[in-house]
Structure 1
């Protein structure tokens, strides 16, 4: 490239930048329109609803899978004249698809490096795994159908059989039945089988060719680098070589486990993030286990202590409840990894509806605290927060009642006009009654559609006294009274209020039924600026 070409490229680049900057305000409406259409017709609707084994599959998810499958099929068949050639290419392509599977033994850590949610990384991991298995299966079927000699006394052929058997076992263990028996055992077995199958594939590949053995080296290098990076993060975070390790205070309250971590090094945790906790002294096998737990405490600065609210289920969490009741391991040594999870942007929403069921309240508490803090110091646009909590009975809510009360106590500005908490008791038929400080308990299931329509209309937003005083001082002759017309229907009211009040966010951490109901409801109101966010933690 001579000097004239360099000059031409530089000049063209400068003019292109100015043109893009000028056209950007005109492109944004088109981007917003396309985003709305994609959400309404691809992201929100389900093709296959939730099932015990499969689902849910959205239209967008199915479309992406079809594109991914089509690209792999194109690569297998492009300019291939024989079926044996397609089988060989499928085997090489299977090794390529294995690369993202070894991006890290800890998927949450890998998700943090890419800035995406754990749900997204799991979907990518699952898709790449099944694609690698399918291509490998096609490779094996072509070899079998070709009737070529396949002596097992040759090392390459023997490891081909071993690698194929390990991959089949990997896919078999993915079934929910095996995962539910013991997730930790499933996870360690899954990781061991993955490494063993990669080694078997490496031994099967011809050593005289650089490719496709290079793909195995890339996978191994990626796994090793991510492992070292994660180990360095754990060592630095826990100050393993610089002082004492962190300790935990384990208590129980109304059937729930509460843990307070006393950190040796202060840690900044954004609202909605979680940590992986390792407590080796809880049980014989706990030194091999690390579990993710939501952090329910939040501070605008680094925290010296972290609070966790845990639902006892099986395994480690049940052991924690047992030790808390028996006053065992009151202050055990702990190590943590994290925090994990992307930061959730709620600052630009004027109205926020939070829906939780059971221990899903733990995912909402830190968001609640940050939003109230942001409102008090004028950092967020929120003017209305309504927390709807569905529980079975009053006893299920006692564990989180003190945490809710502390959040309500912070809502002091403008006479506490921003936050409302509604608790619904499924197994109760008594009339409504106070539930802690300023929260109200209602009998039955939460009428989510009715609550949603009331929130999206903007009628529940209370104006601060200062704003009311400013408005009352204005001349009535310059402004018509803002009274609703009696002939106006609900949809027009929603549209006018939403256009005047700004965007609305619905967050949910609840049962599958509640999530699906809110998904269908929000989809019908995307045009008035409503969005749905399913939080990282979902109670099962």
Structure 2
């Protein structure tokens, strides 16, 4: 059987399972009671549960995620075995499949763009990218081991040397993935650099005789160049107009929180669940080579529903955010915006919503709350409610968000569907209420996941997921927003 056909079959199987998940989530609102019950059971036992506890290295998979990966690994193994009659053929087949797997790996320099084009969340696409990347490294390693075992290795042979450098580059990529949390910006640049080096060394390793293998690599590079050209055009369209080159940024600081006000060159529609990348070269020398993802917390819309002015809220941690906090708020900086990226959340269809956040995670929820309140104003639904449970890290968090909270409550005036529960460290012995119709509750306790995430610490999110899974008797949509607050003090805030 043709190798490309086999590869297409297993890619199709993975994509089909992804589409099946989307179909399940769509059909759960349009099904008979029996099928609806089956969907609830699949959410409860397949989609939502984690198989083991979270570690500092990686997030635990769900049964559905693991099933996708096992299908991919199984079909990949079959591809390695079909039509193979010797160990040498097995090694050659592994090398060929490693090259074919490079096609999706070389899809783009900005993975958010590929995820957007495929209609996937960045988290889902990164999991797929990592799975394919690990498989490629394993297949390449098998190819090298079998070749060295069956033949005499001679480093003076340029073909063997380039092959060794290629597999060495892939090994470094795997190692860098394990330390990306502490050196995120360095990891991004090094990851791209070693990926390019691996592709160049692989091209030299294959030589002129392996036309089909070179064609596979050219297809991957062609996709990379195409998406890079598309990305460049999107950047220019977003940041260059006849009246303005780039956006204008002003920086305000209070405590360990930084607010960035951006006057954008070309207004765009801000939607809940999306984020943008910001490039501000004047912040420091290294910021010339860095872009950082942030959530748009607030925007001022024009008559077309687009935002000429947007606000970002950033917690100072280190690196770029530390440099950003040192600048005078009177200065105006040139900035470029890339995005928005991410799957927009359609919240108007929900009747009840519980939103959970800790610390700076509230920045992801404010656009969601605003969209929910707007949906109620445009299409009122009797009994619609939204509860926001937030555990701020300190008073500075409240100081920056207070005006936006007041404005949300003002927009909700007359409907009174919005309630805030502020979980603050003990200040008294009993809960306090505030706001018209007691819509703000100050609770003198820390948040307990068994009492209630969406954009919260891992302990809260995992606890929330488990409580929902155990107690759900009807369908519940559990959404982890793209931005989640970091718990490791050394990890950069800007790394989403």
Please, what TM-score do these two structures have when normalized by structure 1? 0.80
Name the CA distance, whole Å, in 2 between partners of 1:427 and 1:136: 56
1:65 maps to 69
Contact 1:246 1:264 in 2 (8 A): yes
Matched, 1:169 2:168: no
Task: After TM superposition, give the deviation of residue 52 of structure 1 in Å.
Answer: 1.5
1:11 maps to none
Name the CA distance, whole Å, in 1 between partners of 2:280 and 2:379: 40
SS at match of 2:298: coil
Counting only pairs closer than 5 Å after superposition, residues 434-449 of structure 1 correspond to structure 2 as 434=433, 438-449=439-450
Name the CA distance, whole Å, in 1 between partners of 2:466 and 2:266: 44
Name the CA distance, whole Å, in 2 between partners of 1:87 and 1:240: 54
1:361 maps to 362
Task: After TM superposition, give the deviation of residue 244 of structure 1 in Å.
Answer: 3.2
1:532 maps to 478
State the number of aligned residues: 454
Mean Cα displacement is larger for which, 27-36 or 190-199? 27-36
2:494 maps to none
Task: After TM superposition, give the deviation of residue 98 of structure 1 in Å.
Answer: 1.6
1:424 maps to 423
1:400 maps to 401
2:277 maps to 276
SS at match of 1:207: coil
* 1:110-169: CA deviation from partner (whole Å, max 9, x where unpaired): 1111111110111011111101001111111111221x1333333211211111211111
Name the CA distance, whole Å, in 2 between partners of 1:92 and 1:381: 60
Change (3 A) 1:133 1:406: same
2:265 maps to 264
Mean Cα displacement is larger for which, 95-104 or 524-533? 524-533
Matched, 1:131 2:135: yes
1:518 maps to 464
**Higher alpha-carbon Rg:** 1
Mean Cα displacement is larger for which, 119-128 or 38-47? 38-47
Task: After TM superposition, give the deviation of residue 436 of structure 1 in Å.
Answer: 6.9
Name the CA distance, whole Å, in 1 between partners of 2:382 and 2:153: 69
1:96 maps to 100
For residue 153 of structure 2, the aligned residue among 141, 150, 154 is: 150
* 1:409-432: CA deviation from partner (whole Å, max 9, x where unpaired): 111124xx2010010013544533
Task: After TM superposition, give the deviation of residue 103 of structure 1 in Å.
Answer: 0.9
SS at match of 2:93: helix
Task: After TM superposition, give the deviation of residue 286 of structure 1 in Å.
Answer: 0.6
Task: After TM superposition, give the deviation of residue 393 of structure 1 in Å.
Answer: 3.9
Contact 2:254 2:396 in 1 (8 A): no
Name the CA distance, whole Å, in 2 between partners of 1:153 and 1:337: 46
Gaps of 5+ in 1: 1-23, 453-506
Task: After TM superposition, give the deviation of residue 33 of structure 1 in Å.
Answer: 4.3
Matched, 1:317 2:317: no
* 1:27-70: CA deviation from partner (whole Å, max 9, x where unpaired): 94376444323222212222222011233122222222111111
Task: After TM superposition, give the deviation of residue 204 of structure 1 in Å.
Answer: 0.8
* 1:289-329: CA deviation from partner (whole Å, max 9, x where unpaired): 10001001255810110111111111111111121xx446x
2:432 maps to 433
Change (3 A) 1:242 1:138: farther
Mean Cα displacement is larger for which, 427-436 or 417-426? 427-436
Change (3 A) 1:241 1:144: farther
Name the CA distance, whole Å, in 2 between partners of 1:429 and 1:107: 48
Name the CA distance, whole Å, in 1 between partners of 2:58 and 2:358: 23
Counting only pairs closer than 5 Å after superposition, residues 468-507 of structure 1 correspond to structure 2 as none
Contact 1:392 1:427 in 2 (8 A): no
Name the CA distance, whole Å, in 2 between partners of 1:272 and 1:54: 23
Matched, 1:141 2:145: yes
SS at match of 2:297: coil
Task: After TM superposition, give the deviation of residue 539 of structure 1 in Å.
Answer: 0.5
Change (3 A) 1:209 1:379: farther
1:12 maps to none
Change (3 A) 1:436 1:216: farther
* 1:350-408: CA deviation from partner (whole Å, max 9, x where unpaired): 10001110011000001111111111121678710100001244343222122211111
Change (3 A) 1:266 1:424: same
2:24 maps to none
SS at match of 1:310: strand
2:198 maps to 197
Name the CA distance, whole Å, in 2 between partners of 1:392 and 1:431: 20
Change (3 A) 1:268 1:257: same
Change (3 A) 1:447 1:181: closer
1:160 maps to 163
Please, what TM-score do these two structures have when normalized by structure 2? 0.86
1:466 maps to none
Mean Cα displacement is larger for which, 235-244 or 56-65? 235-244
Task: After TM superposition, give the deviation of residue 241 of structure 1 in Å.
Answer: 6.5
SS at match of 2:273: coil
Task: After TM superposition, give the deviation of residue 527 of structure 1 in Å.
Answer: 2.6
